[in-house]
Amino acid sequence: MGLTAYIVRRLIYGIILLAGVLVLNFFLIHAAPGDPAETIAGAMGGATAEMLSGIRAAYGLDKPLLTQLAIYLGHVAHGDLGMSYYFNQPVISLIAARVGPTILLVFAAQLIAITVGVVMGVLAARKPSGPLSAVITVLSTVGYAAPVFWTGIMLIILFASIIPIFPVDGMTSARFSGGFVAHVVDVLYHLALPAFTLAIIFLAQYSRLSRASMIDVLGADYVRTARAKGLSETKVVFRHALRNAVLPIITVAGIQFGNLISGALLVESVFNWPGMGRLAFDSVLRRDYPTLLGILFFAALMVVIANLLTDLSYRFADPRIRTGGR
Amino acid sequence: MKLTRRDILGSAGALLVAPNFAFEAQAAEPQMGGTMVMVSTQVPRHLNPAVQSGIATAIPGTQIFASPLRYDADWTPHPYLAESWKVADDALSVTLNLVKGAKFHDGKPITSEDVKFSIETIKAHHPFKTMFEPVSSVETPDEHTAVIHLAHPHPALLLCLSGALCPIIPKHVFGDGQDIMNHPANSNPVGSGPFKIAEFKAGQQIVLEKNPDFFIKGRPYLDKIVIRIVPDLSSIILAVEGGQADFLPFLAESQSIIRLQKSDRLGVTDKGYAAVGPINWLAFNTAKPPLDNKAVRQAIGYAIDRNFITKALLRGIAKPQRSPIIESSPFFNPKMPSYGLDLNKANAMLDQAGHKKGPDGMRFKLTVDYIPGGGEEQEGIAQYLKSQLKKAGIDIEVRASPDFPTWAKRISNYDFDLTMDEVYNWGDPVIGVHRTYLSSNIRKGVIWSNTQQYRNPKVDELLNKAAVEKDPAKRKGFYDEFQMIVGDDLPIYWVNALPYHTIYNKRLGNVPESIWGSMQSMDEVYWKKA
């Protein structure tokens, strides 16, 4: 199958999947008890019965559920994700303001996890029975087992309270003033703890995976040949072995993207990172259906795109995949 | 001119002209400029207090919009956007004389038409209907004079013209024919107050910048107020401790208050909440047996140890509250019964009411709900009730709600026995107290109405009289009698005043301590010179 045809087919699957996600989420969210009008009334300090009816009518909540679904899907088809019940602002603008920070957090965490995880895995694989390997294995297991919100809170206690060297919340300093470079430094300063927290759990997975993969590859004939040629161990490991060992990492990185986003939602709540996570959490509590549906839609979209990109990168990284369909 | 509380309660016939520097109690070399970073857990829907109640909107809203009057810490009204006012002898009209030259943030003049539009908007759309219900019309004889006509005397009116209750909003923006409840300008308002909106990131951050054309010359002192919305209280405490934030209002969690009181760099005050009047209480479903029996409710009252709750559970930070009217209000009746702990009496009363103990030592079973996320004031006390009421033979099941909508639905549809709740007095009993006890306000599906379904014709009569009585002493008398009756009927067991505290950087001057606290203009807050 040609590349274009492959991409088109995957895009069609993606659109069908996204439509399914929308419909399923719509029913799941509406199955939860509670009335968004009451939440809005609560935020207003109470409301009269007329006001409650007015709120329900304004947001179409007085219509049958299937009618609401039809209206909603019609709007989505036109690129309109509706208005937030709570903020009374377009959902698309609420998400647009938050999607950047979420992507930044996710990619920073992914970068840390893959880089550090692979280095740890390679170091452990060079002497699988050595003490370094044992230490890395234990650290990986602990990192994998610890819930991400717990890790985040522990890091906050350590680096924001006991040794107060990192900020506890947000993406920038409230009193920030300065140029572009200073702004970037400020964001990176705020990004450090949340990105590392999110990276830890995936770092453990990547180090375990690269360790196993490297042990396998280091025993292969072509590595023995490379060593026999008199190449240095660093060249053998990083130029010959790692390039082959990294293929499973690419696959797992793509598969893990969904988990990374769900992990980001928790990390954002712990660190008050201004991404979609906190908005998603609060939208559940507020029964802000359009906002929640919009966030879930965007999250699904990001996973679909990430999987597509993973597949494509895999095709480029491994020539056997490119020809496999023929 | 200094007014006494009695004057404030009545205020009939008063012509008041006072300088705008009346608030400047602390005169320690104010410094112009600087940024104050405020942190809050409260998430405002939008920034227009004319159509939205609540702390979250009121704090930024009162910086963006000016009101005709403002109050000091002694319940005394002062000129603000109205440089003077006069209450007619028959108390059926109030004339406001507006400051000349005042402008909205877009440069358009603030006129009496805007005052009329604002009052009419609030009357039509604000959830606190009692505030402007008696207003029959607003006359505008000239652009600096507004005459508010009343269908009957409305002694709470002056208070209703202050703080977040009466923001003056521009007619030329909000009166353009769009639905004001969903008006786009609610999130990007053109205001009349000391600060202009510079940024509103919904649920994240509000940035307010100095209004250089504010009608009070030389104010505000601060250049900028940044309100960071941080949902997690622990992060907020760390931010305040670490100097990343300068100002934290409405902190009620006792452990955090005690912790921050130990800081040399931070000031901690419980002033600034007198008008808010936040009460934490246990409500009874008075229409549901056995709680429809007054004796059972009273017995529960005798079985609860209010002092243990305030001194032990709430670590001595909260003050006991035994009345529907907050004890810091001039309307509070100190003769209210307190229902001190008396388990023998509680058991005897329940026996007498026909609820004998069964073989398991229990008389009957009740559920107690609480507002989710309310912490020690809500779930903490609900859990205490489970063990404490067992001593009177009452089997309590603590029923959790996963979120606010679930709790609100249960309570407003009368699907409860007992519930913990937090309700504000909002300055005058007409605004925040009547709604809980008037039988005419039993409205199914509406949270914070009379969800107890409490009915007493005498209470209805007293509250209705107090709402229109212009003689302050008589009005106080009506409320005294009302409190004694509900103290006996006990549709609600009032537990404690919510221990709201403000935490602030000690380098800040004129920290708001008026009856409205941070829900009133902070144009006089400043950074002290180093």
Give me the amino acid identity at B184: P
For chain A, the structural domain boundaries read: 99-279
Find, among A300, A262, A293, the residue nearest to A30 by Cα: A293
Residues B244, B326: Cα–Cα separation, whole Å: 34
| Total residue length of chain A | 326
Flag if B403 and A41 touch (Cβ within 8 Å): no
Nearest CA in chain B to A42: B447
Nearest CA in chain B to A48: B446
Contact between B67 and B163 under an 8 Å Cβ cutoff? The reply is: yes
The torsion region of residue B373 among left (phi > 0), alpha (psi -120 to 50) and beta comes to: left
Q: Residue B28's pLDDT is what?
A: 58
Flag if B244 and A173 touch (Cβ within 8 Å): yes
Residues B229, B39: Cα–Cα separation, whole Å: 6
B36 phi and psi angles, rounded to 5 deg: -110, 125
B69 phi and psi angles, rounded to 5 deg: -125, 165
Q: Residue A138's pLDDT is what?
A: 85
Residues with Cβ within 8 Å of A191's Cβ and at least 6 positions away in sequence, in order, are A104, A105, A108, A171
Q: Residue A43's pLDDT is what?
A: 63
A54 contacts in B (CB within 8 Å)? 181
Residues B153, B159: Cα–Cα separation, whole Å: 14
Contact between B279 and B521 under an 8 Å Cβ cutoff? The reply is: no
Distance from CA of B246 to the nearest CA of A (A): 11
Give me the amino acid identity at A42: G
pLDDT > 70 in chain A, percent = 93
Burial B250-262 (b: 16+ CB within 10 A, else e): bbbbbebbeebee
Report the pLDDT averaged over residues A86-108.
91
Q: Residue B324's pLDDT is what?
A: 97
Distance from CA of A58 to the nearest CA of B (A): 9
B124: its two tokens: 């039509």
Kindly state the DSSP code that residue A161 receives in the 8-state scheme. Answer: I
Strand order through the sheet with B205-210: B195-201, B205-210, B224-229, B35-40, B247-251, B501-505, B266-269
Domains and CATH numbers, chain B: 5-232+501-528 (3.40.190.10), 278-497 (3.10.105.10)
Strand B15-17 with B82-87, pairing: antiparallel
Q: pLDDT tens, A289-308?
A: 889 889 988 888 888 888 88
Confidence check: pLDDT of A48 > 50: yes
The SS3 call for residue B78 is strand
Kindly state the DSSP code that residue B162 receives in the 8-state scheme. Answer: B
Q: Residue A134's pLDDT is what?
A: 84
Contact between B435 and B441 under an 8 Å Cβ cutoff? The reply is: yes
Residues A262, B121: Cα–Cα separation, whole Å: 43
Flag if B405 and A173 touch (Cβ within 8 Å): no
Residues with Cβ within 8 Å of B268's Cβ and at least 6 positions away in sequence, in order, are B257, B260, B261, B501, B502, B503, B504
CB contact A20 to B (< 8 Å): no
In angstroms, how far is CA B145 from the centroid of its own chain?
29
Burial B316-335 (b: 16+ CB within 10 A, else e): ebbebbbbbbbbbbebbbee
Whether the ω angle into residue B220 lies within 30 degrees of 0, i.e. cis, is: yes
Contact between B504 and B511 under an 8 Å Cβ cutoff? The reply is: yes
Flag if B230 and A272 touch (Cβ within 8 Å): yes
Residues A51, A41: Cα–Cα separation, whole Å: 8
Nearest CA in chain A to B224: A175
B187 contacts in A (CB within 8 Å)? 87-89
Burial B171-181 (b: 16+ CB within 10 A, else e): bebbbeeeebb
Domain A99-279 has CATH 1.10.3720.10: yes
C-alpha pair distances (Å), B524 with each of B19, B34, B100, B102, B267: 14, 13, 21, 18, 17
Contact between B451 and B414 under an 8 Å Cβ cutoff? The reply is: yes
Whether the ω angle into residue B60 lies within 30 degrees of 0, i.e. cis, is: no
| Burial class (CB within 10 angstroms; exposed 0-12, middle 13-18, buried 19+) of A145 | exposed
B412 phi and psi angles, rounded to 5 deg: -70, -15
Give me the amino acid identity at A182: A
Residues B66, A67: Cα–Cα separation, whole Å: 44
Give me the amino acid identity at A293: L
Nearest CA in chain B to A275: B204
Q: Residue A314's pLDDT is what?
A: 72
Residues B464, B475: Cα–Cα separation, whole Å: 10
Flag if A168 and B239 touch (Cβ within 8 Å): yes
Flag if A51 and B127 touch (Cβ within 8 Å): yes
Q: Chain B neighbours among A 158-177 (CB < 8 Å)?
A: 160-161, 164, 167-170, 173-175
> Between residues A230 and A295, which one has the greater pLDDT?
A295
- Mean residue pLDDT across chain A: 83
CB contact B200 to A (< 8 Å): no
Flag if A49 and B424 touch (Cβ within 8 Å): no
Residue of A50, A52, A88 to mutate when probing chain B, most B C-beta within 10 A: A88
Residues B157, B167: Cα–Cα separation, whole Å: 14
| Burial class (CB within 10 angstroms; exposed 0-12, middle 13-18, buried 19+) of B165 | buried
Report the pLDDT averaged over residues A175-181.
81
Residues with Cβ within 8 Å of B147's Cβ and at least 6 positions away in sequence, in order, are B93, B94, B95, B96, B138, B139, B140, B141
CA end-to-end distance (rounded Å), chain A: 7
Residues B355, B338: Cα–Cα separation, whole Å: 24
B100 phi and psi angles, rounded to 5 deg: -85, 140
Confidence check: pLDDT of A149 > 90: no
Residues B109, B101: Cα–Cα separation, whole Å: 7
Q: If you search the block for the tokens 């019309």, which residue do you land on? A: B137
CA end-to-end distance (rounded Å), chain B: 34
CB contact A208 to B (< 8 Å): no
A275: its two tokens: 């991404």
Confidence of residue A322 (pLDDT cuts 50, 70, 90): low
Q: Provide block-wise average pLDDT over 10 residues at a time, chain B (530 residues).
A: 40 42 53 94 90 90 97 95 96 97 97 97 89 96 97 95 96 94 92 96 93 96 95 88 93 94 96 94 97 97 97 95 93 93 97 96 97 90 96 96 82 95 94 95 86 97 95 96 98 96 96 95 92
Contact between B210 and B524 under an 8 Å Cβ cutoff? The reply is: no
Flag if A282 and B406 touch (Cβ within 8 Å): no
Looking at the predicted complex, does its ipTM rise above 0.95? Answer: no
B353 beta partners: none
Flag if B54 and A94 touch (Cβ within 8 Å): no
Contact between A44 and B127 under an 8 Å Cβ cutoff? The reply is: yes
CB contact B21 to A (< 8 Å): no
Find, among B444, B480, B474, B440, the residue nearest to B457 by Cα: B440
The SS3 call for residue B247 is strand
Residues A276, A268: Cα–Cα separation, whole Å: 8
Q: Residue A28's pLDDT is what?
A: 82
Residues B235, B374: Cα–Cα separation, whole Å: 17
Strand order through the sheet with B364-369: B319-320, B492-497, B278-284, B418-424, B364-369, B394-399
Flag if B405 and A38 touch (Cβ within 8 Å): yes
Residues B450, B441: Cα–Cα separation, whole Å: 5
Residues A243, A233: Cα–Cα separation, whole Å: 14
Find, among B416, B382, B397, the residue nearest to B304 by Cα: B382
Q: Residue B9's pLDDT is what?
A: 44
B45 contacts in A (CB within 8 Å)? 40, 43-44, 86-88
Q: If you search the block for the tokens 């510079």, which residue do you land on? A: B198
Q: Chain A neighbours among B 145-184 (CB < 8 Å)?
A: 179, 181-182
Q: Residue B39's pLDDT is what?
A: 94
Rg (C-alpha) for chain A, rounded Å, is 24
CB contact B357 to A (< 8 Å): no
